[in-house]
Amino acid sequence: MAVLAGAVMVLVAACGGGDGDDDKGKSGEKGKDDKKASQAVVEIAPKNGADGVATEDALKVTASKGKLTSVKVADAKGNAVKGDISKDRTEWKPADHLATQTKYTVNAVAEDEEGLKAAKHATFTTVVPKNTFVGYFTPENGETVGAGMPVSINFNRPIEDRQAVEDAVKVTADPGVEVEGHWFGNQRLDFRPKTYWVSGTKVSLSLRLDGVQGADGVYGKQSKDVKFTVGRSQVSTVDAKTKKMTVERDGKVIKTIPITSGAPSNPTWNGQMVISEKLKVTRMNGATVGFTDDDGEGEYDIKDVPNAMRLSTSGTFIHGNYWLAKSSFGQVNGSHGCVGLFDQRGGRSKTTPGAWFFNNSMIGDVVIVKNSNEKTVAPDNGLNGWNMSWDEWTAPQD
């Protein structure tokens, strides 16, 4: 029995191994390293669980006593929020505004000088707006338009922070060309290049208004992409003095048409005007545009004007005219301000000047009127911003 006890003692000693004191010290230090906490401190603003968070300037991730190595922010659908870590890697901010009424999750990691990592997690929900705004745009997605077509956005509420809204709208072109925006009042924003679009240009409109505070307590509620194509370039020049219109397509004259324009008492606007609407047949009543008689009735009421194309918001059209004798065109200016082309009633003909021009025109084509005894059409009276010089168009606005 004594021998057996000795063997057991030897076995226990062998399991300990070497110098008992030294091994105990090394084992203790290793355990301490495994439990050592990172000195890095990660902070997330807003606080975890916050509600009603602003969509701009509220989200920020910082690191002290360490450097950020990863920041991931996403909405409830998993859509990532882009952002940038500062050069010293101590701060992260989103690259753009957040959306309203959206729950976001933040996961951030930093490490200290010894490479030990610290992480933090937070969720928050952005503000639920009491009032929202959207932009109604033209042209529509997928359209092919003329070379004079601007991108025009009309907002359903007045915009106070126009710069914030404009920053959330991008218009790009292929082939590339400089495109700039211009505000007409506080509810309309148009974009155009310096000169008419080149034929075949592909234009893209990106609206990222969701979360943009356009006015106090009024947030955008729209995220949309629109693409359209510029077709051939057609510019038609109406000379009110000679009473003729010259149609050029891609720089070549393709037709000359006799016209009638505004009578001396109601001359046609001068300037560059863009076709914004096409109506095969429409009714025109003078009372709707201020032409009334002593009894308040319209000076004219034509229920079947053929081949009409709008040139201004105030009611200027280029259209077919069947109520004047054919011999009047090219000889007399007798309208209330519109440009008239000989036509048949109801627009039944395909060969009259009115029908030909209608069938060979598209939204966005340019009609220039010159030598009329009237001032130049206002740039916001229709899609007619081309009547501003590039310097005027791009000048800083209040």
DSSP-assigned letters across all residues of 244-305 = EEEEEETTEEEEEEE-B-B-TTSPPPBEEEE--EEEEEEEEEGGGGT-B-TTS-BS-EEEEE
Q: What is the rounded radius of gyration, in angstroms, for the C-alpha atoms of the chain?
A: 35
Which run of H or of E encompasses 306?
strand 301-310
From 97, 182, 319, 336, the catalytic residue: 319
Beta-sheet pairing, 271-274 with 277-285: unpaired
Residue 244: CB atoms within 10 Å: 15
Q: Cα–Cα distance between 101 and 314 in angstroms, integer?
A: 40
Q: Cα–Cα distance between 305 and 315 in angstroms, integer?
A: 13
264 burial (CB, 10 Å; 0-12 / 13-18 / 19+) is exposed
Q: Is 338 a catalytic residue?
A: yes
- The answer to whether 73 touches 94, Cβ cutoff 8 Å, is yes
Angle at 345 between CA 341 and CA 349, to 5 degrees: 75
For tokens 């606080």, what's the residue? 47
From 97, 182, 336, 338, the catalytic residue: 338
Distance in Å from the first CA to the final CA of the chain = 105
Q: Cα–Cα distance between 142 and 357 in angstroms, integer?
A: 23
Q: Cα–Cα distance between 307 and 338 in angstroms, integer?
A: 13
Chain CA centroid to CA 369, Å: 30
For tokens 């997605």, what's the residue? 141
The residue among 162, 326, 182 whose CA lies nearest residue 260 is 326
DSSP 8-state symbol, 18: S
Helix/strand/coil percent split, the chain, to 5 = 15, 40, 45
Catalytic residues: 319, 338
